Amino acid sequence: MKNEEIAARFSEIADMLDILGEDTFRVLSYQRAARQLESLTENVEDLVRAGRVDQIPGIGAALAEKITEYVTTGRITYHEELRAKFPPGVLDLLKVRGLGPKKVKILWQQLGITDLDTLKAAAEKHLLRRVKGFGEKTEENLVRAIELVKEGQARAFLVDAARVVDAITEGMKASKTVERIEAAGSFRRMRETVGDVDILAVAKNRAAAGAAFERLPGVVEVLASGETKVVIRLAYHDYEGSPRTIQVDLRILDPDSWGAGLQYFTGSKDHNIRLRTMAERRGVKMNEYGAFRDEKRIAGETEESMYSCLDLAWIPPEMREDQGEIDLAATNRLPKLVELSDIRGDFHVHTDATDGTEPLEAMVDAARHRGYSFVGISDHSVSATVAGGMTADQALARRDRVRALNRNSKGFTVLLGTECDILDGGEMDYPDEVLKELDFVIASVHSRFTLPREAQTARLVAAAENPNVDILGHPTTRQIGWRGPIELDLDAVFKACARAGTAIEMDADPRRMDLNSPQARAAKNAGCTLSVDTDSHASANLTWMRFGVGTARRAWLTPADVLNTWPLEKIREFVR
């Protein structure tokens, strides 16, 4: 956590220096230092204790001193001094797509805009177009971009909710005050963003469990404290390093009500209403305490009992949205959903050859240690200039390096691929003769996001139909809280992928989640094969597969639907 916290502060220092017009070299040095800390595999606190901070690449004496200051005091004086020069909301403007430090400086110093609300008001009143560099179209785009930022701030990314849940469950188990503990709510259903976190527990001493919950690290406020329910507001840093808070509710249940509570607080509102309606027709009352007939409890200790008392099979949490799952459970036709243990590899992995932070060998080792049988290396093609895209010659030059890795590996294969940009008309960034030389090709859109729907659809259809393209990467390009999806006829794209035998990606990057679960389910129904990938830019990102699989389960996907659950021989046949 300290690595990410310091990286976030260095990034913010870089932004503030840029807004203030300070020397570009100083700005870049803080940006580089932030990236190094984000990709650091060692705990920076250990490095401080060992006196080895200056051994981090790109960290000089001045930066090492600030890292040490934060580890020992929890603050960076220089960061606070810079912060004091800005109105509180100015830095939030940098979260808005289309606004960099230079434009933020103009908005602040020329128009007195100091937060998202004043920016939105100015855009809606058409005040921005009076300033050089801001036009009518810019105003329209900013209003939508502000809405996206606020959407992202209102809910936590799934990856951040998972870290909060893991920390709480570990902390409560360490307190030895609970006998059972598990997360419920939208997190257990693997929603891509989470509002509040629901935690359920069984405890012999409820007062002791509640007190331990209130004392957890990061608690900034106790909102309610009772025998059966405690509500706190918890501070945390999101996966990008920004400080956030989230409400966490702890409900302490009787052992006899554990399954009932877990079912009640996991299912969506519609799912639960449907179950209660079914129960009422049978003369059964169903709530968070159990299922009762004439005041006699007939179910509640387990989730399975709550469903079986209605003659239903147990329904996986991710499916509990009242989208037809109850009818399937009534006739024992529920699909056997894909599980994390089914995943044999990850196709979408970047290295420091483009915009990743770690070398090829490190990413390969990390994938091997996850128990995978293969990993696909898919660095960017040349047109992805912001990501430091590789020329065709550079991409092919790594074949010998990959072959050497494969010669020295038993039971593990490195596949050399590319994430190749789809150009305006659907042409690929590399020529066909280059694509043919690679083990696989992911085709993705990284530019021209505002093309009209018809042109954008034709662009993706052409890529899907290219015989050298194997996977269509993050198809809608949306980024939660940052950028909306491109205008696209997804049904047409799905039909093209199914017809051409091109897999379509479910990108598990927490900000992307693209395809999302309804779209992935539609792709499956259209006959598409899907690939669940992490779009990793550091070895730690490989753990995002957990959330990609969760989204796949929400889409009702089975192992047969997911390309990277297949044996490598079958994958090679698919690619051919």
Fold of 97-154: DNA polymerase; domain 1 (1.10.150)
CATH 3.20.20.140 residue spans of the chain: 340-575
Two structure tokens written together for 529 = 């094969």
CB atoms within 10 A of CB 562: 25
Q: What is the pLDDT along the chain (576 residues), one digit of tens a residue?
A: 578 789 889 989 999 999 998 888 888 889 888 877 876 767 888 889 888 888 887 788 899 999 999 999 989 999 999 999 998 889 888 888 778 888 899 899 888 999 888 998 988 888 888 888 788 888 888 887 887 677 656 689 999 999 999 999 999 999 999 999 999 999 999 999 998 999 999 999 999 999 999 999 999 889 889 999 999 999 998 888 888 888 899 999 999 999 999 999 999 988 999 999 999 999 999 999 999 999 899 999 999 999 999 999 999 999 999 999 999 999 999 999 999 999 999 999 999 999 998 999 999 999 999 999 999 999 999 998 878 899 999 999 999 999 999 998 889 999 999 999 999 889 999 999 999 999 999 999 999 999 999 999 999 999 999 999 999 999 999 998 788 899 999 999 999 999 999 999 999 999 999 999 999 999 999 999 999 999 999 999 999 999 999 999 999 999 999 999 999 999 999 998
Superfamily of domain 340-575: Metal-dependent hydrolases (3.20.20.140)
The one-letter amino acid code at 272 reads N
The one-letter amino acid code at 321 reads E
Beta-sheet strands, E only, within 333-444: 345-349, 374-377, 413-421, 440-444
Dump the DSSP string for 499-557.
Answer: HHT-EEEEE--TTT-BS-HHHHHHHHHTT--EEEE--BSSGGGGGGHHHHHHHHHHTT-
- Tell me the sheet residues that pair with 374: 345, 413
CATH 3.30.460.10 residue spans of the chain: 157-330
Class for domain 1-85, per CATH? Answer: mainly alpha
pLDDT at 180: 97
pLDDT at 39: 66
Structural contact between residues 542 and 367, judged by C-beta atoms closer than 8 angstroms? yes
* N- to C-terminal Cα separation, the chain: 43
CATH 1.10.150.20 residue spans of the chain: 97-154
Fold of 157-330: Beta Polymerase; domain 2 (3.30.460)
From the list 461, 96, 455, the residue with the least C-alpha distance to 443 is 461
Distance CA 22, CA 105 (A): 12
pLDDT at 60: 87
Two structure tokens written together for 11 = 């990034």
Structural contact between residues 139 and 123, judged by C-beta atoms closer than 8 angstroms? yes
